[in-house]
Amino acid sequence: MNLNQLDLNQLLTLDALLTEKSVSKTAKRLYLSQSAISHSLKKLQDVFQDKLLFTSDGRRMVLTPLGLELEKPVHDVLQQIRKIIAAKAQFDPAVTRQTISISVSDYFIMLFMPELIRRMREEAPNVKLNVMQVDHNHLVELEEGETDLVILPEGYFQNNYPKELLFKETYSCIAWSKNPKIGNSISTEQYFNSKHAVTQFRYVKHIDLILKERGLTRDVGVAVPMFSSLAYVIVGTDLIATVQTGVAKLLAKSLPLKVMPLPFEVQPILEHMIYHPSQEFNQANVWFRELLKSVAANF
């Protein structure tokens, strides 16, 4: 056995293999191909002169006695290395000068940006925040480093990048306060007999996915590019719109709107922060993610 042949990347792979007990799950966890993990496993087997894990019944993989013996020590060693690296790379938001780029919807900007900016001015006065409108290129932007963080609802991203739940939201229906067809509440029949104003994305909207599963569709009269536009479109008309409850309440403070619960049950929206694997332990990114969670917790 020649441990000089091991490097940190191989230890990471070994830890993942011993934990996941699966080449495919390890590949997904480390964002690598299965062939790359299989190649690494062969190298590790040569170093330790042991299979480490093997297929016992044609499908399920189990650890060898040596693999079982290595499982906890390898994991503990990596945890210690992570702590040492984190300690060496302390990030001080009070003095740092850098730019953090995020891709978000105008919904996030309306609801969270004022408090986020206030907190940033207090904690990190020299950090510049670059805010971009999220679009269908968000994965490319993350991969190429054009953005550090993307905020999207569950179901709008199809990748296995690291993600963290930021907050939960519900939907409400909004209408002009003098809409002649709708009172202070709306029935299912009124909802589907009304013309709707909707946001126009390349993504399939969460509410439309839910309705499609039930064999239902909305009768769209107007499509606009941003959530903030919906209220201005429906004022003075008989159009209705379905928006996030936080946005609905915020817009109703300055516009003649009535906010009503949807006449049917809809699962909450789960908004996530998504970031590139290379940013998982980046101290600036970690600090900003914690700041976002702190701001979101107050809403």
Digit-by-digit pLDDT tens for the chain (299 residues) are 555 667 777 888 899 999 988 888 888 888 778 888 888 899 898 888 989 988 876 677 889 999 899 998 888 888 877 766 665 556 789 998 889 999 998 889 999 999 999 999 999 999 999 999 887 677 778 877 889 999 988 877 666 788 899 999 999 999 999 999 999 999 999 999 999 999 876 554 667 777 888 888 899 999 998 888 899 999 999 999 999 999 999 999 999 999 999 999 888 889 999 998 878 878 889 999 999 999 999 88
Q: How many CA atoms lie within 13 A of 155 on its CB side?
A: 12
Which CATH number does 99-156+271-297 carry?
3.40.190.10
**Rounded-to-integer distance, Cα 78 and Cα 270, Å:** 32
Is 151:273 a contact under the CB 8 Å cutoff?
yes
**Rounded-to-integer distance, Cα 160 and Cα 280, Å:** 13
The candidate with the shortest Cα–Cα distance to 73, out of 20, 18, 8, is: 18
Given this chain, do its domains 99-156+271-297 and 171-267 carry the same CATH topology? yes
Instruction: Please identify which residue in the block is written with the tokens 């600090």.
Output: 287
Query: SS3 string of 109-154?
Result: HHHHHHHHHHHHHHHCCCCEEEEEECCCCHHHHHHCCCCCEEEEEC
First to last CA, the chain: 56
Domain 171-267 annotated CATH 3.40.190.10: yes
* Architecture of the CATH domain 3-88: Orthogonal Bundle (1.10)
Q: Domain spans of the chain?
A: 3-88, 99-156+271-297, 171-267
